[in-house]
Amino acid sequence: GSSVASGGETLHAFSFSGKEGGMVVAVVNWDDDVNRTQAVAVKGCGHEAADMYELTPAGPIHDGGSDLDNIIANSVGIAVNGQDLHVDSDGLVPAGLLVPKAVPCRRGEAQFSLAGLTAAFVVL
């Protein structure tokens, strides 16, 4: 894993290699400035697109009066790619909830914006 800190922002990324040569990168953005438009490029993308599961807060935010509205721990729920994550009474996640966003691969890199991003899993 590695972390990058500059200008009041902290970004942590951890990668996990799979048996079939795939890789999952977990990105956590702890930037106080949720309007920042910086982008991230993840190397090692060998397909036309990478799959991204973006995690953001869902429901009311309890942030103690600050403006850290991108902190999952301060919310009552989690959304995956904009849809509230919940488990049905039978223990199953509703169909279609875990459909990934496609992130185009260009020159072996998957690029995506940090604007409003709290955390994500990127499957390369």
Tell me the pLDDT tens digit for each residue of 38-71.
778 888 887 788 888 888 877 776 665 566 555 6
pLDDT interval class at 36 (50, 70, 90) = low
**100 is in which domain, residue-wise?**
2-123
Q: Give the CATH number, domain containing residue 70.
A: 2.60.40
Instruction: Fill in the amino acid letter for 17.
Output: S
Report the pLDDT value the prediction gives residue 3, as an integer from 0 to 100: 43
Q: What is the per-residue pLDDT across 95-114, written as a single tens digit (0 to 9) for each?
A: 777 788 899 999 889 888 77
Domain total for the chain?
1
Structure tokens at 2: 């590695």
Q: What is the pTM of this model?
A: 0.67
Structure tokens at 61: 């935010």
CB 105 within 8 A of CB 40: no
Question: Backbone dihedral region of 63: left (phi > 0), alpha (psi from -120 to 50 degrees) or beta?
Answer: alpha
Q: Which of 28-32, 36-40, 66-70, 83-87 has the highest mean pLDDT?
A: 83-87
